Amino acid sequence: MQIITSPQEFQALCWSWRCQGLTSAFVPTMGYLHAGHVSLFEWARANSQKVAASIFVNPTQFGPNEDLDRYPRDPEGDAAKARAAGVDVLFMPEPGAMYPPGFATTVSVSGLTEALCGRSRPGHFAGVTGVVSKLLMLAIPTTAVFGCKDWQQLAVIRRMVRDLDIPVAIEGRPIFREPDGLAISSRNVYLSPKERAQAPSIHQGLLRAKAQVASGESDAAKVLADLADFYGQSMPDAVVDYLECVHPETIVPLQNVSGPALLAVAVKFPGARLIDNMLLH
């Protein structure tokens, strides 16, 4: 596996693959790789001739009071995991190389960035769309691979790629979970043992809501009220940041969940803010 830090070198290598007619899959990450990331690499390996991945803790998607400085990092461990999963090239740029002096361009997607995480984390999605469009221009992959845990991020990226005619297929892969159901996230390491013991309730609650919908409940307000109670009782150390039923593509809130519907949740423990989601059908 090659490790490249220069954007120009990374782009030259990816271009050479494209010019040879090879298919490539690209997995952008912020590192501190876990089993969920590895599952994305493995999907990429199985479905394309070349695999590129990036590790870049993108400063522009963190708010002023967020965890940029303490975001967990393990470049050597990450490189070993990427190598073992069959990644051909790992792009690990420095912030100064991605955002050189004078950098002045933003990419923003309106509407679906304003709900859910967009409301709690102003500016977050502009940071994501900016860096993802830049990474896609560098990697020019056949397919770019993202996890569905950040469902809204995936919906925003799909919108951006369609709107800007970026010639890449977007592949969303299922959420990877711990045996007790907690969605795997780099931020889980921040949880205290007591918080970690409560956190699987996030997923249990989503399953409970899905079962209610399967047995005929279609009123989003009722499903959400029951779930808010369940979370209040099962996670006394957490505050619900948002809990909403939305349309999976447009992220517009729904009153009736008999059609396509996504249940999305963010909870704040003192140690970490966690997100999760589930399609209700």
Task: Give the residue numbers marked as catalytic.
Answer: 37
- Longest alpha-carbon distance in the chain: 58
- By CB under 6 A, is residue 131 in contact with ligand PAF? yes
**Distance (Å, whole) CA 166 – CA 182:** 34
E strands present in the chain: 2-4, 24-29, 50-55, 89-91, 143-147, 169-173, 239-246, 262-268, 273-279
Strands 262-268 and 273-279: antiparallel
Interactions with ligand PAF, residue window 85-104 (CB under 6 A): none
Nearer to ligand PAF, 28 or 271 (CB): 28
Task: Provide the minimum distance between the beta carbon of 260 and ligand PAF in the complex, in angstroms, as a whole number.
Answer: 23
Nearer to ligand PAF, 114 or 229 (CB): 114
SS (H, E, C) 163-193: HCCCCCEEEEECCCECCCCCECCHHHHHCCH
Nearer to ligand PAF, 29 or 48 (CB): 29
Interactions with ligand PAF, residue window 262-281 (CB under 6 A): none
Question: Which of the stretches 9-17, 78-86, 124-132, 195-203 binds ligand PAF when contact is defined by CB under 6 A?
Answer: 124-132
Question: Which of the stretches 99-107, 127-135, 248-256, 272-280 binds ligand PAF when contact is defined by CB under 6 A?
Answer: 127-135
**Distance (Å, whole) CA 211 – CA 13:** 48
- By CB under 6 A, is residue 150 in contact with ligand PAF? yes
Tokens describing residue 40: 């994305």
Q: How far is CA 258 from CA 46, 204, 210, 218, in A?
A: 36, 21, 11, 5
How many Cβ atoms are within 10 Å of 48's Cβ, its own excluded?
21
- By CB under 6 A, is residue 132 in contact with ligand PAF? yes
How many Cβ atoms are within 10 Å of 163's Cβ, its own excluded?
10
Nearer to ligand PAF, 30 or 245 (CB): 30
Handedness of CA 69, 116, 181, 81 (dihedral sign): negative
Nearer to ligand PAF, 125 or 269 (CB): 125
Task: Provide the minimum distance between the beta carbon of 86 and ligand PAF in the complex, in angstroms, as a whole number.
Answer: 19
Interface pick for ligand PAF out of 51, 112, 116, 128 (rule CB under 6 A): 128
Q: What is the per-residue binding string for ligand PAF in 20-59, x denoting contact by CB under 6 A? A: --------xxx---------------------------x-
Residue ranges binding ligand PAF (CB under 6 A): 28-30, 58, 61, 128, 131-132, 150, 153
